[in-house]
Amino acid sequence: MSDTRTREPVLSVRSLTVGPTEPGSAAILSDLSFDLHSHEILGIFAETGGGKSVLSRALANWLPPTLEFRGGDIRFKGKSTLDGTGHSMLRPGREIAYIGSRPQSSLDPTIPVGPQLVEKLRAVRPEISAADARKKILKLLAEVRIPSPEERFNEYPTKYSGGMMQRAMIVDALSTDPAMIIADNVTQPLDVTIALQIVRLLQQLARQHGLSVLFLSSSLSTLNQLADRVVVLQNGRVAEIGETQALINAPATPYTRTIIDQIPRIWRSTAAPAVSTRSADQPIMSVRDVKRTYYVRRPGHLNSYNSVQAVRSVTFDVMPRDNIGIVGESGCGKSTLTRLLTALEKPEQGEILFNNRPFNQMPQKELTAARRGFQLLLQDPYNSLPPRMTVGRMIEEGMRIHGIGKGAGMRARVEQAMTDVGLPTSIYNHLPNSLSTGDRQRISVARALVLEPQLLILDETVSALDQSEQNKLLALFSRLQAEKNLTYIFISHDLAMVRRVCSRIAVMYLGELVEIADNRNLFYSARHP
């Protein structure tokens, strides 16, 4: 869209500097300058914690009270939005609309979605009558392809899925006819397929409504899908600005180059898919025709239930030293399968054998002992670690339960496990609250490792991390595998990641295992869409 280049930019940021209100503290954004032209989609790339949210909040006049403008200017349609004292005069929500990364918690859970969108529209533009506002919201809901908008209008936010909620938030942003939209990491909480839908939708709406979009993301591949130009931020400064294609094909700075190299190239033949390391022994775990149905109480009725077949007739074997990936969209039954595999729940039908012993025939004591052999690693490293327990104590706990090791011996093993996963042993007595997401995940790994398991079940273990942390952890997993003869089950919605590390991949769709094949075969001749 080079024809827009000649016009005056919609938004122009000049040497913007933002930092904490505390005097003497380091600035978060320094000397930032870029332009957003009309009808343009400008991508802004920064790693997690790289100042994306601060930038979008600064532009939307939504800085938290702990941050302040330190210098520079933000000009919107040629007029400065900052007054002399470093405060923005922009009326939030009117000309510059904001869409965030937390669609599920953006609206009041106690009020239906529609009325809240109407409330916002009328708060920003009081001249619109309630009836007109309702009509407009319904029209926009249809436009973002929310099915049966009339009914959805009166439903509560909890009834909306993540993708639908993000669509509703797009409606919320569009309703006031803004000139530009700030989309701050909008695809981050969604799984790949839904995220792609949202990206396409935004692109199309921007064209239809003549919007300029500032799209901030920590995924360069997402930006590649929609941005006309990309700004790369490094430590709160502009590292590089350029046309998207040019920038990705010929990055000018070493920083950009490293970022690009970290993107898993799923369709490029240069990156060889993982080779099978499995041996031809007996399966370590085999799943035979397993079924599990949930009964959900139907709202508004006392005695009727909807049954959901979360997992139906799933059968597969896991060989020692095999990396098996289980992929599927959100809600296809992955989590239920995880719960079955770890014997947290019992299947209704079929059985799961671990080292040739079926779970359902094990007495409670044997099951506890067997649990040593397989360990589960979860997605959310914040909620899966007890916040008031020291790191060392947390890792020890499994050993205490299984009654292995005592006193100094136990401590030595814990420290060994910490070294194995790359944690400094100096944090043995620390609480986890000051640790980064990656380090928290390392604690979970160490916690599993001290028990010397044969099988690790990784349920979206790395999806909460950003690209470079993901790479580090995946490298750690393959090193541990080589050292300790581990077997992994990766459960994920991220095909690219799974392809890189797994030798066999199983695809789940609506509770069924629709395909299971070796890595290469699956990707080159997929039978199920």
- Contact footprint for another protein (CB under 8 A): 57, 60-62, 91-94, 98, 100, 102, 105-111, 119-120, 123-124, 156, 158, 172, 176, 300-302
Closest listed residue to residue 474, CA positions, set 494, 452, 454, 453? 494
Report how far residue 120's alpha carbon sits from residue 238's, in angstroms, rounded to the nearest whole number: 34
Q: Least distance (Å) from another protein to the CB of residue 155?
A: 10
Q: Least distance (Å) from another protein to the CB of residue 360?
A: 31
Q: Least distance (Å) from another protein to the CB of residue 256?
A: 30
CB 101 within 8 A of CB 186: yes
- Quick one: which H or E segment has residue 293? strand 285-297
CB atoms within 10 A of CB 247: 25
Please report, as a single letter, which amino acid is at residue 127: E
Kindly tell me the sign of the dihedral angle through the C-alpha atoms of 418, 423, 428, 433.
negative
Nearer to another protein, 120 or 229 (CB): 120
CB atoms within 10 A of CB 72: 19
Report how far residue 409's alpha carbon sits from residue 395's, in angstroms, rounded to the nearest whole number: 14
CB 162 within 8 A of CB 194: yes
Q: Least distance (Å) from another protein to the CB of residue 158?
A: 6
The answer for residues whose C-beta is within 8 angstroms of residue 294's C-beta and 6 or more apart is: 307, 308, 310, 336
Nearer to another protein, 215 or 374 (CB): 215
Beta strands in 389-447 (DSSP E): none
Write out the two tokens for 435. Answer: 């640790």
Nearer to another protein, 304 or 426 (CB): 304
Nearer to another protein, 108 or 366 (CB): 108
What are the backbone angles phi and psi of residue 454, rounded to the nearest 5°? Answer: -95, -25
Strand order in the sheet with 323-327: 374-377, 455-459, 487-492, 323-327, 504-509, 512-518
Nearer to another protein, 124 or 324 (CB): 124
Nearer to another protein, 97 or 230 (CB): 97
Q: Least distance (Å) from another protein to the CB of residue 297?
A: 8
Q: Least distance (Å) from another protein to the CB of residue 102?
A: 5
Nearer to another protein, 213 or 327 (CB): 213
Q: Least distance (Å) from another protein to the CB of residue 178?
A: 10
Report how far residue 42's alpha carbon sits from residue 363's, in angstroms, rounded to the nearest whole number: 60
What are the backbone angles phi and psi of residue 203, rounded to the nearest 5°? Answer: -60, -45
The answer for residues whose C-beta is within 8 angstroms of residue 291's C-beta and 6 or more apart is: 309, 311, 312, 313, 314, 347, 348, 349, 350
Report how far residue 4's alpha carbon sits from residue 6's, in angstroms, rounded to the nearest whole number: 5
Q: Least distance (Å) from another protein to the CB of residue 162?
A: 14
Nearer to another protein, 329 or 380 (CB): 380
Q: Least distance (Å) from another protein to the CB of residue 234?
A: 26
Nearer to another protein, 72 or 178 (CB): 178
